């Protein structure tokens, strides 16, 4: 007969139950390592972390994850499977989304409060509000690696037909925080640098006055910017999956991501991981722009009018700086932004499925090469 355990949570005893039930309670967060526990036929108590096979069980140790046997390979199949996984694990994906959404909402509301403050003088109230908004910003940034890792883990589990509890996913995502945080800084920092630097150069050229030479210089800088950002996109295509699901170190993560992104060169271009990643990203960007368009259109129209009616570059910069900007709380903008955040896991799920497809194909090619060498 299997061992029966009794656990004590907040002064109440639960059980006797088998180890499998304790694992379910652990995944649901009902049993913590510090809780007392004992065998049903013994009077001595121990802590739950000392129960063999409970907290060191490999079920939540996501070392390299194999692609599911029935991983979708077609682009339409990937999209349909993405929606299915998201619907199946909606509450868990929503819980991960709250980790980054709640600090962002708090920071936005605090910023609105500061904008609507009747006085611009610095006082204790404004200092506290500004400090709180800054803390929320830092909290949101700190939660982002956990959010990224959680999306990968949840999708991988649903793809192979397993289901982990939310707190089990959260625990493992927290363990991966240092690695994912370092990769995030490198990836987003590279994109920011190679976006901001060319734009600054273009602005300096524009301030020098209109001429044929300045036009071609701006065009050349813009082409270089597009080329560099495109290469970064390719090299970083699967960095999240390699860091979380493969468990690779930072340097190896980027090399493996580049290898997977550039695989499938013997396939038609529209079946290669690179172009499928481009299509999925473009689909998401188009959706995000469609959500932002109703709110951004008045400002865009004003800027377009200024650009088309102002000839002098310095006057143009001054006019753009003096253009009216939206202040206060905008319910439509807030609701659309919240909707976009809730649906953002769809993008992560799709890339995990695309990664599984690319990984399985690369593994087959590597296996064929080894067989040929033998």
Tell whether 52 is covered by a domain.
yes
Whether the predicted pLDDT of 260 surpasses 50: yes
Tell whether 361 is covered by a domain.
no
pLDDT-wise least confident of 54-63, 126-135, 184-193, 224-233: 54-63
Number of structural domains the chain divides into: 2
Contact 149, 177 (CB under 8 A): yes
Q: What are phi and psi of 32, to 5 degrees?
A: -110, 160
Q: What are phi and psi of 161, to 5 degrees?
A: 85, 15
Tell whether 101 is covered by a domain.
no
Reported pTM: 0.73
Provide the domain limits for residue 28.
5-56
Compare 159 and 150 and report the one with higher pLDDT. 150
**How buried is residue 122: exposed, middle or buried, by Cβ count under 10 Å (0-12/13-18/19+)?**
exposed
Q: Which of 262, 288, 323 is the last residue of a domain?
A: 262
Tell whether 230 is covered by a domain.
yes
Residue 113's pLDDT is 62
Tell whether 61 is covered by a domain.
no
- Copy the structure tokens of residue 262: 């550039």
Tell whether 233 is covered by a domain.
yes
* CA-to-CA separations, 82 to 58, 158, 243, 354, in angstroms, rounded: 26, 10, 21, 10
Q: What are phi and psi of 229, to 5 degrees?
A: -65, -35
Whether the predicted pLDDT of 346 surpasses 70: yes
Q: Which of 14, 31, 56 is the last residue of a domain?
A: 56
Tell whether 240 is covered by a domain.
yes
Helices (H), 160-211: 166-175, 177-207
The full length of the chain comes to 374
Whether the predicted pLDDT of 157 surpasses 90: no
> For residue range 297-341, what is the model confidence (pLDDT) as tens digits?
766 666 666 666 665 555 655 655 555 555 555 667 778 888 899
Give residue 204's pLDDT band: very low, low, confident or very high (50, 70, 90).
confident
- Copy the structure tokens of residue 260: 């997977």
Contact 146, 99 (CB under 8 A): yes
Contact 195, 227 (CB under 8 A): no
For residue 58, the 8-state DSSP code is: G
CATH number at residue 20: 3.30.1490.40
**How buried is residue 229: exposed, middle or buried, by Cβ count under 10 Å (0-12/13-18/19+)?**
middle
Nearest CA among 160, 151, 96, 145 for reference residue 356: 160
Mean pLDDT of 350-361: 89
Residue 327's pLDDT is 52
**How buried is residue 317: exposed, middle or buried, by Cβ count under 10 Å (0-12/13-18/19+)?**
middle
Nearest CA among 97, 254, 248, 95 for reference residue 176: 248
Whether the predicted pLDDT of 370 surpasses 70: no
User: The tokens 């210089």 sit on which residue?
Assistant: 217
Tell whether 235 is covered by a domain.
yes
Mean pLDDT of 163-188: 89
Separation CA 321–CA 298 (nearest Å): 16
Q: Which of 228, 262, 296 is the last residue of a domain?
A: 262
Separation CA 346–CA 87 (nearest Å): 10
């Amino acid at each position: 007969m299997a061992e029966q355990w009794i656990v004590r949570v907040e002064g109440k005893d639960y059980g006797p139950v088998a180890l499998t039930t304790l694992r379910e309670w652990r995944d649901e967060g009902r049993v913590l390592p510090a809780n007392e526990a004992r065998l049903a036929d013994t009077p001595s108590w121990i802590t739950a972390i000392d129960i063999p096979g409970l907290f060191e069980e490999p079920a939540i140790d996501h070392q390299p994850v194999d692609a599911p046997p029935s991983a979708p390979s077609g682009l339409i199949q990937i999209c349909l499977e993405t929606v299915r996984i998201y619907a199946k694990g909606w509450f868990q994906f929503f819980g991960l989304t709250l980790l980054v959404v709640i600090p962002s909402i708090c920071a936005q509301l605090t910023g609105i409060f500061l904008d609507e403050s009747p006085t611009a003088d610095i006082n204790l109230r404004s200092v506290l509000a500004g400090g709180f908004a800054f803390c929320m910003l830092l909290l949101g940034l700190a939660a982002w690696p956990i959010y990224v890792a959680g999306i990968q883990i949840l999708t991988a589990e649903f793809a192979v037909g397993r289901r982990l509890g939310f707190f089990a996913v959260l625990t493992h995502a927290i363990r991966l925080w240092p690695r994912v945080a370092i990769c995030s800084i490198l990836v987003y920092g590279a994109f920011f640098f190679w976006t901001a630097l060319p734009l600054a150069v273009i602005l300096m050229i524009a301030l020098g006055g209109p001429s044929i030479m300045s036009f071609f210089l701006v065009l050349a800088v813009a082409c270089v910017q597009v080329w560099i950002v495109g290469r970064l996109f390719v090299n970083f295509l699967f960095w999240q999956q390699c860091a979380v699901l493969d468990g690779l170190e930072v340097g190896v993560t980027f090399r493996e991501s580049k290898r997977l992104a550039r695989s499938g060169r013997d396939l038609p271009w529209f079946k290669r991981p690179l172009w499928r990643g481009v299509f999925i990203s473009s689909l998401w960007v188009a959706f995000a722009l469609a959500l932002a368009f109703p709110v951004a259109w008045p400002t865009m129209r004003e800027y377009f009018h200024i650009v088309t009616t102002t000839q002098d570059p310095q006057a143009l910069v001054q006019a753009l700086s003096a253009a009216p900007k939206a202040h206060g709380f905008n319910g439509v903008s807030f609701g659309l932004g919240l909707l976009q955040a809730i649906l953002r896991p769809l993008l992560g799920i799709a890339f995990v499925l695309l990664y599984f497809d690319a990984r399985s194909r690369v593994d087959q090619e590597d296996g064929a090469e080894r067989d040929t060498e033998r």
